[in-house]
Amino acid sequence: MTLALKQLTRQFTELAALDDVSLDIEPGEFIALVGPSGSGKTTLLRILAGLDYPDRGTVMLNGRDFLAANARERNVGLVFQHYALFRHLSVRENIAFGLRVRPRKRRPPRADIRTRVDDLLKRVQLDGLGDRYPSQLSGGQRQRVALARALAVEPEILLLDEPFGALDAQVRTALRRWLRELHEDLGLTTVFVTHDQEEALELADRLVVMNRGRIEQVGSPQEVYQAPATPFVCEFIGRTNKVALRRDGDAWRAGAWSIPGPGTAGSAVAYIRPEHLALAAADGGPGWDAQLRHIYLAGSVAHLDVHVAELDLSLEVDMASDQLGGLAPGALLRVAPLHGVAFADDCTRWAWGTGLA
Amino acid sequence: MTMVHRRRRASTPRRLGRLALIVATCAFLCLFLLVPLASVFVEAWRQGAHAFLESIDDPDALAAIRLTLFVALVSVPLNVVFGVAAAWAMTRFTFRGKALLGALIDLPLSVSPVVSGLLFVLMFGAQGWFGPWLAAHGINIIFAVPGLVLATIFITLPFVARELIPLMQAQGTEEEEAARVLGASGWQTFFRVTLPNIRWALLYGVLLSNARAMGEFGAVSVVSGHIRGLTTTMPLEVEMRYNEYNYVGAFAIASLLALLALVTLAVKAALEWRFHADTDVVAAARRRGT
């Protein structure tokens, strides 16, 4: 059941929506396509749904040509960001749609359709709302109807295009967890498009980070977060501090701090996560003298805005709130990066510290 | 304090202005719409019910009514098919010359009906491009019923398409795409998703094009030849009777046409009420969505 995408390319008038994209999607996997708008993730999803076709490249499912089948033959379920419910049909009829339009031979009898719809209503926790119309439901309820409608045809692959993008934060978090459970219950292969990296990290087995029609990195949430492969991934997934480095003999240097590293290029950029900057008392260890400007308390974590005068740079430092002690704005600190990833001008990548590849 | 005072003082002239505008509008509508409309019915019944009925129950009048209904019955369904197809092409596909097609759909509205009629005479008349060929094969278009139908189709062409295009644009393609992925064929998608979504606008377009088809005078007058009982529609019959000083007869038929207009108006109002309920839902969904 492996879905093998090979060298997909899709060109819109000016812009390459997909540029040589290859990817294997394993059965039962929950995969998130994540990237900014215009990165090609929705185009990729529409190609899988049969609503768009690549200019070049192939998609094979178990060795048969998936692109040769049209949208109605693919047996995929698709959920849109704006639900796309049939507004003139009741919830019940929306869910039954995919079964009712089947050719007579494959169409289940009326009674079976009814029980299947009832089961699905229960599964998406909308029992009792079957006779309502889409306009009478909240956004979260509508999206669950859309999911039930997609699941009614028993698809092998579930495709979701920013399904929670139009919902408010609380509903979104609740639906996320629920979707993940549903995916595990039904043993589906799920492809999920989102521009919300947090959502992708939380939900997916594997992340596909996309930018300008290309895949930047594929990996588990942990891999992508802890060992970003490209500068784009560093900046797009999670938060990060950017520090410019200069070549200094065998090492790379930024102000008073330096680190040994490979390469012959003249300059590089280091990406350091806020939680990988350590605070120490203002003594002589390697690091930068800095002044605390502001503390943004976000529950269990505190985000510290720290200014390094010698680099003329503001850094974000994360620490556990209960470790703050008597820290107050204006305090003089010493900051040292424990882990980081750096990219030299000639594209050499290296990492330092533990836990990073 | 002074602010409040000033605002209060300004409100009196504003209220007067509002009143003046409302009165002016009502007076204008009365003078130019209600009074003439009422006068049609008054004139028709001036010599009593007997004279009214007699001038309608007359072979020529009945022939004109039948012909008008026939012309509408042929041209309106054709316009429905064309209008839906054109709206579909305009809103669901991108292609070269789309703007030109949009302009062409509107053309019959911007050309004088008399010119439209003359176009058909130029093409199919005895001296026209296809005239000799048609004459050789014994086909009559000008000064015959086919000419009336053609002219009416041309005149009413834009009505259905113009109602559908903005609505279909606003509704977008997502529902149709959802239907396709769920396994619906092209026709199933059209009949189960597209058509229900556009039904009120479509009905409204049908109503407008029907009213125009029955009421059209200019283009039809040019191609008709005014043969009593054969090529005379109701508006033409009204004109002919009027020219013959048969006022009661003219107004009797005119009152039937006016009645048609009133019924159209009433149904239109009812539809608009329904149709607005639908589009409000669309608008609200879009607001919530984005």
Among B174, B185, B188, select the one facing A82 at the smallest CB separation. B174
CB contact A40 to B (< 8 Å): no
Q: What is the pLDDT of residues A8-18, one digit of tens each?
A: 999 887 778 89
More confident residue, B229 or A354: B229
Closest CA to A242 of A271, A274, A280, A268: A271
Q: Pairing between strand A189-194 and A206-211?
A: unpaired
Q: What pLDDT is stored for residue A346 in this prediction?
A: 83
Amino acid, res. B46 = R
What's the rounded mean pLDDT across residues A110-121? 93
* Domain hosting residue B8, numbered range: 1-44
Length of chain B, in residues: 290
Q: Is A207 within 8 Å of A219 (Cβ atoms)?
A: yes
Q: Are B105 and B137 within one domain?
A: yes
B25-65 residue pLDDT tens: 999 999 998 898 898 888 888 888 888 888 888 888 899 99
**Is residue A283 over pLDDT 60?**
no
B179 neighbourhood in chain A, CB within 8 Å: 86, 97, 101
Question: How far is it between the farthest Cα atoms of chain A?
Answer: 81
Give B-chain residues touching A86 at CB under 8 angstroms. Answer: 175, 178-179, 192-193, 196
Spell out the residues 6+ positions from residue A153 whose beta carbon is closer than 8 angstroms to its own. A75, A77, A98, A99, B182, B183
| H or E stretch covering B112 | none
Q: Which CATH code is given to the segment(s) A239-352? A: 2.40.50.100
Token representation of residue B80: 């429905």
Interface ipTM: 0.84
Per-window interface: B 115-174 vs A, CB < 8 A: 174
Residues of A in contact with B191 (CB under 8 A): none
**B17 and B156 inside one domain:** no
Q: How far apart are CA A180 and CA A30, in angstroms?
A: 8
pLDDT band per the 50, 70, 90 thresholds, residue B289: very low
Torsion sign over Cα A64, A67, A70, A74: positive
Q: Hey, what are A340's tokens?
A: 């980081």
Cβ contact (<8 Å) for A50 and B180?
yes
* Chain A contact present for B180, CB below 8 A: yes
Q: Are residues B115 and B241 in the same domain?
A: yes
| Domain co-membership, B152 together with B173 | yes
Residue written as token pair 């529409």 = A46
Mind listing the pLDDT tens digit for each residue in B7-16? Answer: 555 577 888 8
B12 touches chain A (CB under 8 A): no
Task: Please report which confidence band the pLDDT of residue B288 belongs to, taking 50, 70 and 90 as the band edges.
Answer: very low
Residue B147's Cβ-count burial label (10 Å; 0-12, 13-18, 19+) is buried
d(CA A106, CA A100): 10
Beta bridge partners of A317: A304
Q: Clarify whether residues B80 and B13 are in a common domain.
A: no
Q: Please write the tens of the pLDDT for every residue from A149-204.
A: 999 998 989 999 999 887 888 888 888 888 998 899 888 999 999 998 989 999 99
Chain B CB contacts of A88 below 8 Å? 196-197
CB-CB neighbors (< 8 A) of B197 in chain A: 87-88
Indicate if B35 and B140 belong to the same structural domain: no
Domain ranges of chain A: 3-234, 239-352
Highest mean pLDDT among B134-138, B179-183, B221-225, B272-276: B179-183
Q: Do B17 and B122 sit in the same domain of this protein?
A: no
Q: Which helix (H) or strand (E) holds B288?
A: helix B247-289
Nearest CA in chain B to A143: B289
Q: What's the 3-state SS for chain A?
A: CCEEEEEEEEECCCCEEEEEEEEEECCCCEEEEECCCCCCHHHHHHHHHCCCCCCEEEEEECCEECCCCCHHHCCEEEECCCCCCCCCCCHHHHHHHHHHCCCCCCCCCHHHHHHHHHHHHHHCCCCCCCCCCHHHCCHHHHHHHHHHHHHHCCCCEEEEECCCCCCCHHHHHHHHHHHHHHHHHHCCEEEEEECCHHHHHHHCCEEEEEECCEEEEEECHHHHHHCCCCHHHHHHCCCCEEEEEEEECCEEEECCEEEECCCCCCEEEEEECHHHEEEECCCCCCCEEEEEEEEEEECCEEEEEEEECCCCEEEEEEEEHHHCCCCCCCCEEEEEECCEEEEECCCCEEEECCCCC
Tokens standing for A319? Answer: 């620490």
**CA–CA separation, A190 vs A111, rounded Å?**
29
CATH number at residue B96: 1.10.3720.10
The amino acid at B115: V
Residue B238: HSE in the Cβ half-sphere, 13 Å Cα cutoff: 20
Q: What is the residue whose two structure tokens read 């800095």?
A: A290
Whether residues B77 and B40 fall in one domain? no
Other Cβ atoms less than 10 A from the Cβ of B96: the count is: 7
Is residue B76 predicted with pLDDT exceeding 50? yes
> Tokens at residue B54, please?
């007699």
A261/B190 Cα distance (integer angstroms): 64
Specify the range with the lowest mean pLDDT, choosing from A17-31, A105-119, A146-160, A280-294.
A280-294
Interface contact A51-B180, CB threshold 8 A: yes
What CATH superfamily classification does A3-234 receive? P-loop containing nucleotide triphosphate hydrolases (3.40.50.300)
Q: Do A97 and B282 touch (CB under 8 A)?
A: no
Question: Do residues B1 and B124 both lie within one domain?
Answer: no
Number of structural domains chain B divides into = 2
Percentage of residues of chain A with pLDDT beyond 70: 97
Percent of the residues in chain B that have a pLDDT greater than 70, as a whole number: 91
Q: Do B271 and B247 lie in a common domain?
A: yes
Indicate the average pLDDT of chain B: 86
> Which amino acid belongs to residue B124?
F
Query: Do B54 and B35 share a structural domain?
Result: no
pLDDT at A284 over 80: no
Q: Taking a C-beta distance cutoff of 8 angstroms, is the pair A57, A8 a contact?
A: yes
Residue A166's pLDDT is what?
79
Q: pLDDT tier at A357 (50, 70, 90 boundaries)?
A: very low
Whether B25 and B71 share a structural domain: no
